[in-house]
Copies of this chain bind each other. A is one copy, B any other.
Amino acid sequence: MKLTTKGRYAVMALVDLARFDNVNPVSLRDISLRQGISLDYLEQIFLKLRKKEIVQSIRGTQGGYVLKKKAHEIKLTNIFEAVDEKIKTVQCKKESKRGCNGKPTKCLTHDLWDELENHINSFFKEKSLEDLVKNNNEKRI
């Protein structure tokens, strides 16, 4: 069970962005350099973040990205959802009555995995970008 770079980088990049946000748009080039993430890869990620209206783009020289919502309104859940970093503890569909790989009924441990999924998601639901930035600034005092 591992977190992919897509989710990790998305959050990393947004924390970086959020710290400089209120001044000027932040270019991906800067984020790339500061955080050591490939520029091309960041572009992919920000495309998704923009489509989900988490960030807004400003084109041209001196352009970049700014947050489209307040930092406290952006939860980790929203970020992960935007970049398709999803928690999957099972293979079977949630709605379906059938079990994994088409079995007629759900397995012995199905409820456990649901519970696990909720447990993990609850972590993402309560953390906001603002929390992360604050937390970070405190440590640098």
Contact = CB atoms under 8 A, between A and B. Distances in A.
A1 B86 contact: yes
Nearest to A123: B119
A119 B141 CA distance: 27
Main secondary structure of the interface of A (DSSP, over half): helix
A42 interface: no
Nearest to A3: B89
Contact of A2 (B87, B100, B127): B87
Contacts of A120: 1, 119-120, 123
Interface residues of A, number: 37
Interface stretch (A21-29, A51-59, A108-116): A108-116
A3 B101 contact: no
Interface string A1-40: 1111101100110011000000000000000000110000
A103 interface: yes
Q: Which 5 A-B pairs have the closest CB atoms?
A: A2-B88, A3-B89, A119-B123, A12-B109, A1-B87
